[in-house]
Amino acid sequence: MVQAWYMDESADDPWRPHHAEPDRPVSLEQLRRLGVLYWKLDADKYKNDPALEKIRRERNYSWMDIITICKDKLPNYEEKIKMFYEEHLHLDEEIRYILEGSGYFDVRDKEDKWIRISMEKGDLITLPAGIYHRFTLDEKVRAM
């Protein structure tokens, strides 16, 4: 199950958890109120998963790609990692489904505070259009 929390203000090493002190967990309901939606799926059967197909159909997702992020498979790895971690937003929903590994999606709440969402294999989230976010991950992640 996905976990989320408010982050500390440190800019050091984005790959660390960066829990606020004291710890301030964020529930799925709090994420939902921000427009962030979550599903837990079976990543081993993503190619033929009826649950994934249902989500794609209901949300009109017609396109997908798979990216494997590790130094030996992603050209310009260091540049890409920095780019993923730069705060940005999209005019459309962003969808990420972790097929292998783990990583963090950070989103800004309505008060401009960072919430860190820890994602692992089988976690699928959608971010609403217009929400500021960034993504950092380890070398094992493979996302769709």
CA distances from 35 to 56, 73, 78 (A): 17, 32, 30
Question: Does the annotation list 86 as a binding residue?
Answer: no
Domain region containing 59? 3-9+17-143
pTM > 0.75: yes or no: yes
Tell me the pLDDT of the chain (144 aa) as tens digits. Answer: 799 999 998 878 888 889 999 999 999 999 999 999 999 999 999 999 999 999 999 999 988 888 888 788 889 988 998 899 999 999 999 999 999 889 899 999 999 999 999 999 999 999 999 999 999 975 445 555
Domains held by the chain: number = 1
Contacts of 109 (CB under 8 A, 6+ apart): 34, 115
Question: Does the annotation list 9 as a binding residue?
Answer: no
Bridge partners, residue 15, by sequence: none
Backbone dihedral region for residue 40 (phi beyond 0: left; psi -120 to 50: alpha; all else: beta): beta
Domain with residue 44: its CATH number is 2.60.120.10
Question: Does the annotation list 94 as a binding residue?
Answer: yes
Question: Does the annotation list 133 as a binding residue?
Answer: yes
